[in-house]
């Protein structure tokens, strides 16, 4: 494998991963609404239909339930489908196939079958797409045994985690924040994988641990730079994998820093931060805390259309800075 590293956008990294998977394994097929000639709702599929043909890159009817059902059935019968939802919100129309079929078939058939399907979900706010096209529903699917749920935050991880997902024998749900599609970063040539279930330390620090997901990783890193100028040293943990979750990395970080701030875009109540907080409360890290755990999640509201209200509905850098500062200085 070449060691050359180039700058690719997040969407280019995903497209490259799909092309590598299609070239390497004839069982891999792409499915989804408008992914063929149109190239996908966010142009992530691009020209793959021209390169691999309509038998490998298949437009499905405008029926998420039907398309997801075909993908699950194809996986059970030997293919390795990658199914794209136009928006993560539309997973609500296919929950029967995702939750009752894909997640449970291996268990209900005593391990006689696997369901190697990958489902891609463009997620999150920030595009002015309003309440029905801007949600962060990864915690919904993370609640379901039998599913693996991941949130790559960088182009490098977007490619490597997608290739890991294609090779996985179980259904993998990938939530891709829409605002990350144009973000660029170093991406190695050729095939590589990033392990599912392993968090990444994006910034080492000693005063506070921020566990963040998806685009919030970048906002947390920006906040950490502001806080560094004030003498507050923040460690940023990129969760990357919602299920399975890398508890060991989070626990070790909290034991080191003695404080924890969870930052995620999904609605705060019953969200990812609640699971992380409970896990820490049940672990050896609890007695090492010098302050209460703080969750910074989305507001208790549908995502507004108005751009200023939309920003106010999810965590932003100034809010992360303020919450972290209060934690370290003992305000909370």
Q: Do residues 241 and 148 make contact, with C-beta atoms less than 8 angstroms apart?
A: yes
Helical (H) or strand (E) element with 308: helix 307-312
Backbone phi, psi, residue 303, to 5°: -70, 125
Q: Could you give the CA distance from residue 65 to residue 62 in angstroms, rounded to a whole number?
A: 9
Q: Could you give the CA distance from residue 303 to residue 318 in angstroms, rounded to a whole number?
A: 19
Q: Do residues 260 and 329 make contact, with C-beta atoms less than 8 angstroms apart?
A: no
- Residue count of the chain: 332
Residue 218 falls in the annotated catalytic set? no
- The DSSP line for 238-285 is E--EEES--HHHHHHHHHHHS-EEEEEEEESTTSHHHHHHHHHHTSTT
Q: Do residues 22 and 56 make contact, with C-beta atoms less than 8 angstroms apart?
A: yes
Among candidate residues 16, 133, 138, 177, the one labeled active-site is 133
Residue 133 falls in the annotated catalytic set? yes
Helical (H) or strand (E) element with 105: helix 105-108
Backbone phi, psi, residue 290, to 5°: -100, 0
Among candidate residues 33, 64, 84, 176, the one labeled active-site is 64
C-alpha R_g of the chain? 20
The count of other CB atoms within 10 Å of the CB of residue 194 is 21
Question: Annotated catalytic sites, by residue?
Answer: 64, 133
């Amino acid at each position: 494998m070449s060691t050359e590293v180039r700058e690719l956008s997040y969407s280019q990294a995903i497209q490259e991963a799909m092309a590598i998977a299609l070239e390497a394994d004839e069982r891999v097929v792409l499915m989804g609404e408008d992914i063929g000639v149109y190239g996908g709702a966010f142009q992530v599929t691009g020209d793959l239909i021209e390169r691999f043909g309509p038998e490998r890159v298949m437009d499905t009817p405008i029926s998420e339930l039907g398309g997801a059902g075909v993908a699950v059935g194809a996986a059970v019968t030997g293919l390795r489908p990658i199914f794209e939802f136009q928006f993560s919100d539309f997973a609500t129309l296919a929950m029967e196939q995702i939750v009752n079929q894909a997640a449970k078939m291996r268990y209900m058939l005593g391990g006689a079958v696997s369901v190697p399907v990958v489902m891609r979900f463009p997620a999150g706010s920030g595009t002015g797409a309003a309440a029905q096209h801007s949600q962060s529903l990864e915690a919904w699917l993370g609640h379901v045994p039998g599913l693996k749920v991941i949130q790559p935050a960088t182009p490098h991880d977007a490619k490597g985690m997608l290739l890991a997902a294609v090779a996985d024998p179980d259904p993998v749900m990938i939530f891709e924040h829409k605002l990350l599609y144009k973000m660029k970063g170093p991406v190695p040539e050729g095939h590589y994988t990033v392990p599912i279930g392993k968090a990444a330390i994006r910034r080492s620090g000693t005063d506070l641990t921020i566990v963040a997901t998806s685009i919030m990783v970048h906002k947390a890193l920006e906040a950490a730079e502001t806080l560094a100028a004030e003498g507050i040293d923040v460690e940023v943990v990129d969760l990357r994998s919602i299920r399975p979750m890398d508890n060991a990395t989070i626990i070790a970080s909290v034991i080191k820093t003695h404080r924890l701030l969870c930052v995620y875009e999904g609605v705060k109540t019953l969200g990812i931060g609640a699971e992380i907080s409970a896990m820490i409360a049940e672990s050896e890290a609890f007695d090492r805390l010098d302050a209460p755990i703080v969750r910074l999640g989305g507001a208790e509201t549908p995502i507004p259309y108005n751009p200023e209200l939309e920003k106010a509905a999810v965590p932003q850098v100034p809010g992360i800075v303020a919450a972290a500062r209060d934690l370290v200085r003992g305000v909370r």
